[in-house]
Amino acid sequence: MASSSVFLHRPGNSRLAFASRTNQTVGKDRVSFLNMGTRRLPVVLSMTATADSGEEAGKSVFPGSGISIMVNGCSGKMGKAVIKAADAAGVNILPTSFGSAAEAGQKVEVCGKEITVHGPTEREKVLSSVFEKHPELIVVDYTIPSAVNDNAELYSKVGVPFVMGTTGGDRNKLYETVEDAKIYAVISPQMGKQVVAFLAAMEIMAEQFPGAFSGYSLEVMESHQASKLDASGTAKAVISCFQELGVSYDMDQIQLIRDPKQQVEMVGVPEEHVSGHAFHLYHLTSPDETVSFEFQHNVCGRSIYAEGTIDAVLFLAKKIRLKAGQRIYNMIDVLREGNMR
The contacts of residue 321 (CB under 8 Å, 6+ apart) are 49, 50, 52, 53, 57, 58, 60, 61
Active site residue 283: no
Dihedral (CA of 19, 21, 26, 32) sign: negative
280: annotated active-site residue: no
Q: Which of 224, 283, 297, 319 is catalytic?
A: 224
How far is Cα 46 from Cα 319, in angstroms, rounded to an integer?
Answer: 12
Q: Which of 22, 15, 119, 29 is nearest to 72 (CA)?
A: 119
Which of left, alpha, beta for 277 (phi over 0: left; psi -120 to 50: alpha)?
Answer: beta
Cα torsion angle, 284, 289, 291, 294, sign: positive
Using CA atoms, how far apart are residues 277 and 40, in angstroms rounded to an integer?
24
Interhelix angle 148-158/171-181, rounded to 10 degrees, is: 0
C-alpha span between 153 and 175 (Å, rounded): 10
Give the residue numbers marked as catalytic: 224, 228
